Chain A
Amino acid sequence: MNPLAAIGRSTLAFLAGTGRIAIFGSRGVAALFRPPFYWREFLRAFLFIGYYSLPVVGLTAIFTGGALALQTYAGGARFNGEQIVPSIVAIGIVRELGPVLGGLMVAGRVASAIAAEIGTMKVTEQIDALVTLSTSPLKYLVAPRLVAATLALPLLVAVADILGIFGGWMVSITRLDFNSAVYLRNTVDFLENGDVISGLVKAAVFGFIIALMGCYQGMHSGRGASGVGRATTLAVVTASVLILATNYILTEFFFSV
């Protein structure tokens, strides 16, 4: 086997896949601007993605904030810089860990669920049924989920930010002997609007990616249970990888402005 040919085939397949996802995404966005808009589907998706993801995202944020406080303390103690714990926890959670870990947790929960739901609808001919009932699957299934996830993720991450800082505060005052008022004042003093906004913008982009990959993999699901299973796995894996890659690109962007 010619390794160059294999690399070429893989590259072409990657580019073709990227193109298909881009076209699917642009059609999904275009569907938003052509009536009708399915508000009930949007609210159902918003509730599922936003409200029902709160426990998993909240717990992740609390434990991450606590662990970050301990690690920062351990690092800071090496140069007598223990006082940096509140600022590092706040900035680390708000700019990076809140949106990224929140995004990954929601990708695991939501991208898989969307892909499984739409994939099952495809293999049981419900997508075909939608078309015969004069309903566009892009408008009915994809567009409401894209909007719901793009709006829900920033709200989820805002809650995760608060809970992550709360986790760091809790560990700092109970395990590291920080003064509660001083810790909170340091957190507020060091945190800037730009930190919060950059994190929330990342969250919105991650939300779009999660819904896009869930819908795309579901709509392109193969036949039978194994086809739906594969679509579900692909949705989580591609959404997670895209979240991490996009996070780096967005971080570079916010770093340079």
Chain B
Amino acid sequence: MTDQTGDEDDIMIRAEGVTRAFGKNRVLKGVDLAIRRGESRVVIGGSGSGKSVLIKCLIGLIPADGGRIVIDGIPLSHATRSEVMRRVGMLFQGGALFDSLPVWENVAFRLLRGEDERVDRARARAIAIEKLARVGLGPETADLYPAELSGGMQKRVGLARAIAHAPSIIFFDEPTTGLDPIMAGVINRLIRSIVSETGATAVTITHDMVSVRTIADRVSMLHEGVIRWTGPVERLDDPGDPYVAQFVRGAPDGPIRVEGAA
């Protein structure tokens, strides 16, 4: 099943033939994606399949070797970093909070120190506390440091930071990795509700199938450097593709070969 086509104005992220290699290792061999405005797209794929590389290419953190990426109508190759990042918020796998800053300054980092428009410290703190409340954290957490937070709280602070400037696209890199199932459920529900409320386009990479079913409108599978399958989340149980079916079932036997598997 291929990716959707449609009115160009309706497409928030378009990738055409994106390639990226590290030395002789060709991680992305020609990725094609078209993600509509307001859509929640989840990219699944095995460990080491290049999912993180893909989303970093999509926002220019890692330059693609070839192909074309268009974000909100602007070709990435013509956009300044500021033009791209103004539209983007990102939740990193490990949270990527700044250890030396208290929680509220992490959340308000862009408002205090970013190269776009800034606000004064009092206003930035108020916005940070408001965003912390949105992810279920009280004002008492504002002055704590990241090292004093649990893994789940760190993810929520990272989420508050990602939405602090009301981005139109939010990327989630393995949002539930390392969390217990209940906390993973909390994070999934938060992502779903924030994406619905803000109307932002969401791109999530994960191999957690519970996350996929909670967050996704549509799902793409990255396998061997290309998007092998794209379809609505409802089709996951009957994808019509043996690779996707094996991945969704978590079956050790099938067309996807795992190194070291008996």
Query: Which residues of A are at the interface with B, using a C-beta cutoff of 8 A?
Result: 36, 38, 44, 121, 124-126, 128-129, 131-136, 139-140
Q: Are B114 and A125 in contact (CB under 8 A)?
A: no
Interface centre among A38, A133, A136 (most CB of B within 10 A): A133
Q: Are A132 and B113 in contact (CB under 8 A)?
A: no
Q: Are A124 and B94 in contact (CB under 8 A)?
A: yes
Q: Which residue of B lies closest to A120 (CB)?
A: B99
Q: Are A135 and B90 in contact (CB under 8 A)?
A: no
Please choose the segment from B81-89, B196-204, B210-218 that sits at the chain A interface, where 4 or more of its residues have CB less than 8 A away. B81-89
Known: A38-B113, A128-B61. A133 touches B85 (CB 8 A): yes
Q: Are A128 and B56 in contact (CB under 8 A)?
A: yes
Q: Which residue of B lies closest to A128 (CB)?
A: B61
Give the complex CA separation of A126 and B158 in angstroms: 11
Q: Are A140 and B113 in contact (CB under 8 A)?
A: yes
B59 at the interface (CB under 8 A from A): yes
Give the complex CA separation of A43 and B138 in angstroms: 31
Could you write out 24 A-B pairs with CB less than 8 Å apart? A38-B113, A121-B98, A124-B96, A125-B93, A125-B94, A126-B96, A126-B97, A128-B56, A128-B90, A128-B92, A129-B90, A129-B92, A129-B97, A131-B85, A132-B88, A133-B85, A133-B109, A133-B113, A133-B161, A134-B86, A134-B115, A134-B116, A135-B114, A139-B115
Nearest CB on B from A47, distance (A): 13
The B contact surface, by secondary structure, is loop
Known: A128-B56, A128-B61, A129-B90. A134 touches B96 (CB 8 A): no
Give the complex CA separation of A140 and B249 in angstroms: 46
Known: A125-B96, A126-B98. A132 touches B115 (CB 8 A): no
Q: Are B96 and A129 in contact (CB under 8 A)?
A: yes
- The contact string, 1 if C-beta is below 8 Å from chain A, for chain B 158-197, is 0001000000000000000000000000000000000000
Give the complex CA separation of A68 and B26 in angstroms: 60
Known: A36-B115, A38-B113, A126-B98. A134 touches B82 (CB 8 A): yes
Residues of A contacting B98 in the complex (Cβ-Cβ under 8 angstroms): 121, 126, 129
Q: Are A132 and B89 in contact (CB under 8 A)?
A: yes
Give the complex CA separation of A169 and B94 in angstroms: 56
Q: Are B94 and A132 in contact (CB under 8 A)?
A: no
- The contact string, 1 if C-beta is below 8 Å from chain A, for chain B 66-93, is 0000000000000001100110111011
Give the complex CA separation of A135 and B106 in angstroms: 13
Nearest CB on B from A122, distance (A): 11
B155 at the interface (CB under 8 A from A): no
Nearest CB on B from A128, distance (A): 5
Contact for B81 among A121, A124, A131, CB less than 8 A: A131
Residues of B contacting A124 in the complex (Cβ-Cβ under 8 angstroms): 94, 96
Residues of A contacting B92 in the complex (Cβ-Cβ under 8 angstroms): 125, 128-129
Q: Which residue of A lies closest to B62 (CB)?
A: A128
Residues of B contacting A133 in the complex (Cβ-Cβ under 8 angstroms): 85, 109-110, 113-114, 161
Nearest CB on B from A6, distance (A): 21
Nearest CB on B from A119, distance (A): 13
Q: Which residue of B lies closest to A36 (CB)?
A: B115
Give the complex CA separation of A140 and B82 in angstroms: 15
Residues of B contacting A134 in the complex (Cβ-Cβ under 8 angstroms): 81-82, 85-86, 110, 114-116
Residues of B contacting A125 in the complex (Cβ-Cβ under 8 angstroms): 92-94, 96
Q: Which residue of B lies closest to A121 (CB)?
A: B98
Give the complex CA separation of A136 and B96 in angstroms: 16
Q: Nearest 8 pairs between A and B by C-beta?
A: A134-B114, A129-B96, A125-B96, A133-B110, A132-B90, A134-B85, A125-B92, A126-B96
Give the complex CA separation of A129 and B162 in angstroms: 10
Q: A126-B98, A135-B109 are in contact. List 11 more A-B contacts (CB 8 A).
A: A125-B92, A125-B96, A128-B92, A129-B92, A132-B61, A132-B85, A133-B114, A134-B116, A135-B115, A139-B115, A140-B113
Interface centre among A36, A125, A126, A136 (most CB of B within 10 A): A125
Q: Are B114 and A131 in contact (CB under 8 A)?
A: no
- The contact string, 1 if C-beta is below 8 Å from chain A, for chain B 19-59, is 00000000000000000000000000000000000001001
Give the complex CA separation of A125 and B88 in angstroms: 16
Give the complex CA separation of A158 and B90 in angstroms: 46
Nearest CB on B from A222, distance (A): 13
Residues of A contacting B56 in the complex (Cβ-Cβ under 8 angstroms): 128
